[in-house]
Every structure is written in structure tokens, then in C-alpha cells.
Amino acid sequence: MRHPGALKAHRRRAVHWVPMIQALTPQPLPGATVQASRSPSDVAATVRVPTASRAYDIVIGRGLLVPGAFEGLPRSSQALVVSNPTVHALHGAALHAAVAAHHARVHTVLLPDGEQHKDMATLGRIFDQLLQHGCDRKTVLYALGGGVVGDMTGFAAACYMRGVPFVQVPTTLLAQVDSSVGGKTAVNHPLGKNMIGAFYQPERVVVSLDTLDTLPPRELSAGLAEVIKYGPIADMAFFEWLESHMEALRARDPAALVQAVRRSCEIKAEVVGVDERESGLRAILNFGHTFGHAIEAGQGYGAWLHGEAVGCGMVMAADLSARLGLADGELAARIRQLVARAGLPVAAPAMPMARWFELMAVDKKAADGAIRYVLLDGPGKAQMRGADRALVEAVIRQHSAAGA
Ligand SMILES: NC(=O)c1ccc[n+]([C@@H]2O[C@H](COP(=O)([O-])OP(=O)(O)OC[C@H]3O[C@@H](n4cnc5c(N)ncnc54)[C@H](O)[C@@H]3O)[C@@H](O)[C@H]2O)c1
Ligand SMILES: [Zn+2]
């Protein structure tokens, strides 16, 4: 659906990042011809993240919880592995063995598992451990887990003695393609998600893809939402590649996973390299997140997974883009189809209309009380802007389960 007249007026108010987006160099996607690593530990790809505060590598491969993947990282007398009981039982021993030579003593703190525990009280348990062991400002923190553990460990590292080094060891697909990269760290507040946090970059991100072997399918699908996100906002060739490799990804085909994680990390690295602290371009990474955060918070943290809410939020944001004439309806339909094929919900939960807007107004992108959305600006481009409430209401009605 296109409304060229309305578009002209809206464009005057819109923030545009087209030139910067075009600066994202599309990388060739060798697709199924690329071989995944065959040896037990093998770096298949390295992606450099060039932020102003620190440049660091994301190393991607299978079997990377071994000393070689941690070579060159800071050594210190003490270190703290932050994880949760679920992940630590599966992958803790491998990480401890991998970093043992770097530290005289490696402590462990296991946080309760779940988004509902991503708060100040749980964060305090990390500081308790660091202080009880007399850890100094050289102490290295290792985040072993998904986005919840990664975001909390990063924030703790930013705060403890005003900053200690930390290493991200993400074990969910979502964390490997998104949350472990770029230095956004935070905890939730009862009044808003990720509202208390800091920008703080890790020393390295070690993505050992074999950790995904133990990930529940629902969590894999949630991660695929953030993978899909990179296509419409920055790289339509990648979107097309995802359309032809979705089954392989859901089957955890090693070669397909390497490609998806590598390209996602490349796009994220380019974006945060240009705009580390989200003064402009970086906001495009929030495609689907205004609607998504409303679903997440409205249903209670943990009821909908972050990625599930983002998947549904992208369907809604794509529809809003189409209604504003910024993208065509066919692209919105393709996004909906790919989100569904990733095993994600495409119908939003029923919530009173006023509640949607109340929740969306808490979003960090809101400025002076006005809700802002990341919308498509043609295929492979995005922009952030407001939208008329009546149009947004129509989108919500269209996609709510109750259709109310
Ligand atoms: N910092 C950022 O830029 C950024 C970006 C996107 C999302 N996030 C945040 O990330 C969080 C979501 O992260 P998530 O989806 O990884 O959730 P999560 O950390 O809760 O992990 C999901 C579940 O999978 C389990 N798990 C993790 N790795 C496993 C493995 N290898 N095998 C078996 N089980 C495993 C966890 O214990 C948990 O129960 C949200 O809090 C969101 O706000 C942050
Ligand atoms: Zn997200």
C-alpha cells in the first residue's frame, strides 16, 4: 500500500541514515558451498568490531571453548565466570579448562535463570562475589550464557571498580548474533526493560557454535528473529539467503549457522562501528523492537521470549512501513512469511489499545513523549520516525490475536 502524498510530508520529519546504510559494504554470501569447520576446534570466521572506545574481535567456529580461542586476552590472578545453572552444567567445565592458564584462581557465580531475574538484586550477587574474594581492577569477568547473563555481566564489569575487563562467551543464537556484540549492557527495572545500564565493550566475543547443540528449539527460533532483522534493514541479499536457508538453520546445519552468525555480526559490527552510543544509525537495530518491547513487558517478562516478541514486532513494523508507503506490501508479506518459517509467532497477544501505547511510550527511542518506530525505507534500508496514532492502531488491530 502506498500513500505518496502523505510520504512527502512524513519524510520532512524523518531521520534518514540512507548514506550511512549504503556505506555498509555487502559481503558475498557463499551460501551452501561454504564448508563448516570440520576439526574439533576451528575458527571459521573472525569479525572485527571497530568501536571508538575499543576495537575487538568476534571469533566464530565450532569447539572454541579451548585455550587457543582465548589466547592474547588479559591475564590476572583472579577471574570470575558468571553463568546460570543451566548453561554452567553444560558448558562450564570446558570454559574453566580453556582459561585456567590465565588465572591463579577462577571463581564462579551462578545467577538464577530467566529474564525475570535480570534486575538490580541479581546484579548485586556478582558484586558480592567480587568483593568477598577481594577481586581487584585487573580481575577478568567471563559471561557464559545467553543475553541475560551477558547483559548483566557486562554491566557488572562496567561498574566494578569503575571498569574491569570482560569476555563474552555467548551460548544462545540471540546472544551470538546480537546481544554479546556492541557493548550494550543493562538490567531491567519494574517500570522498563533495560532501563539501567551502560555502554561497555568486551575484550573479545568467543562464539562456539557447538554450544547451540544443547539449545531448546524455541530459543533457537527466538535467535532467528534477530538474524532475520539484519536483512530488511541493511542487506536484502542476506534476507534472500535466509529465505533459502531457513530449514537448514532450524536443523542447525553447521555451515548455514556459520554464515548466518558471521553475516549478522558483520552488519552489527559495521553499525556500532559508525555509531557506538546510538546517537543515530544504531537505532535501526531496533527494527521490530517498539512493538516487541510492548508485547514483552505487557505479557510479563519471560512469557514471550525477547526474540519471539521482536519477530512479531517486525511483522507489525513492516506493515506500518507499508501503510506509510515506505515499503511495499510484498516485502512486508515476505517478512511475515520468513518470521513464521523461523517458528515464531506472527500474531500479537490481545491487549487493550491504551495499554499498547502506554508500553510503547516507555521505549528508550521515545523522545519528548513521542513514540518512535524503526521503519523500513525501501528494501535493505531503515529509518526512525513517529507515525500517526490511527495508523498504528490499525496495525495493532490487524495483527492482534483477538483482532480487537
Ligand atoms: N545487549 C544487547 O545489545 C541486546 C540485544 C538483544 C537482546 N538483548 C537481551 O538479551 C536477552 C535475551 O537473551 P537470550 O535470548 O539469550 O535469553 P537467555 O539469556 O534468557 O537464554 C535463554 C535460555 O536458554 C538457556 N541457554 C542458554 N544457552 C544455552 C545452551 N547453549 N544450551 C541450553 N540452554 C541454554 C538459558 O539458560 C535460558 O534459559 C534479553 O534480556 C534482551 O534484552 C540484549
Ligand atoms: Zn533484540
- Per-residue HEC secondary structure of 90-128 comes to HHHHHHHHHHHHHEEEEEEEECCCCHHHCCHHHHHHHHH
Which CATH class for the 33-214 domain?
alpha beta
The pLDDT value given to residue 237 = 98
pLDDT per position as a tens digit, 181-218 = 999 999 998 887 899 999 999 999 999 999 999 999 99
Contact 147, 172 (CB under 8 A): yes
- Nearest CA-CA partner of 278 in 15, 10, 14: 15
How many whole angstroms separate alpha carbon 152 and alpha carbon 114?
A: 12
Atom of ligand 1 nearest to the CA of 193: 43
Q: Return the C-alpha cell found at 193.
A: 526493560
Q: Whose CA is nearest to atom 12 of ligand 1?
A: 147
The pLDDT value given to residue 402 = 57
Tell me the pairing of strands 373-376 and 382-385. Answer: antiparallel
The pLDDT value given to residue 41 = 62
Question: Residues enclosing ligand 1, CB less than 6 A?
Answer: 84, 86-87, 90, 113, 115, 118, 145-149, 151, 171-172, 174-175, 178-179, 182, 184, 194, 211, 214-215, 219, 222, 306-307
pLDDT per position as a tens digit, 355-385 = 999 999 987 777 777 899 999 998 889 999 9
Question: In the annotation, is 226 catalytic?
Answer: yes
pLDDT per position as a tens digit, 263-278 = 999 999 999 999 999 8
Atom of ligand 1 nearest to the CA of 185: 1
The pLDDT value given to residue 362 = 83
pLDDT per position as a tens digit, 220-251 = 999 999 999 999 999 999 999 999 999 999 99
The pLDDT value given to residue 319 = 98
Atom of ligand 1 nearest to the CA of 90: 32
CA 105–ligand 2 middle distance (angstroms) = 34
The Cα angle at residue 335 between residues 284 and 387, in degrees rounded to 5 = 50
pLDDT per position as a tens digit, 133-170 = 999 999 999 999 999 999 999 999 999 999 999 999 99
**Domain layout of the chain by residue ranges:** 1-30+216-404, 33-214
CA 327–ligand 1 middle distance (angstroms) = 31
Question: In the annotation, is 289 catalytic?
Answer: yes
Q: Is the pLDDT of residue 7 over 80?
A: no
Q: Is the pLDDT of residue 55 over 60?
A: yes
- Nearest ligand for residue 311 CA: 2
For the chain, how long is the longest CA-to-CA vector? 67
Question: In the annotation, is 268 catalytic?
Answer: yes
The pLDDT value given to residue 15 = 40
Helices (H), 14-146: 18-22, 67-70, 85-87, 93-99, 120-132
pLDDT category at 280 given cuts 50, 70, 90 is: confident
Q: Is the pLDDT of residue 30 over 60?
A: no
Question: In the annotation, is 245 catalytic?
Answer: no
Cα–Cα distances in Å, from 57 out to 196, 201, 319?
26, 11, 36
Contact 85, 116 (CB under 8 A): no
pLDDT category at 3 given cuts 50, 70, 90 is: very low
pLDDT category at 298 given cuts 50, 70, 90 is: very high
Sequence-separated (6 or more) residues with CB below 8 Å from residue 281? 17, 20, 21, 271, 274, 275
Phi, psi of 184, deg, nearest 5: -85, 125
Higher pLDDT, residue 5 or 260: 260
Rounded to two decimals, the pTM is 0.91
Question: In the annotation, is 306 catalytic?
Answer: yes
pLDDT per position as a tens digit, 306-332 = 999 999 999 999 999 999 999 999 999
How many whole angstroms separate alpha carbon 73 and alpha carbon 148?
A: 23
Question: In the annotation, is 84 catalytic?
Answer: no
Q: Has domain 1-30+216-404 been given CATH number 1.10.1060.10?
A: no
Tell me the pairing of strands 192-199 and 140-145. Answer: unpaired
Q: Is the pLDDT of residue 344 over 60?
A: yes
CA 168–ligand 1 middle distance (angstroms) = 12
Among 88, 268, 381, 385, the active-site one is 268
Q: Is the pLDDT of residue 86 over 60?
A: yes
- Nearest CA-CA partner of 374 in 278, 243, 298: 278
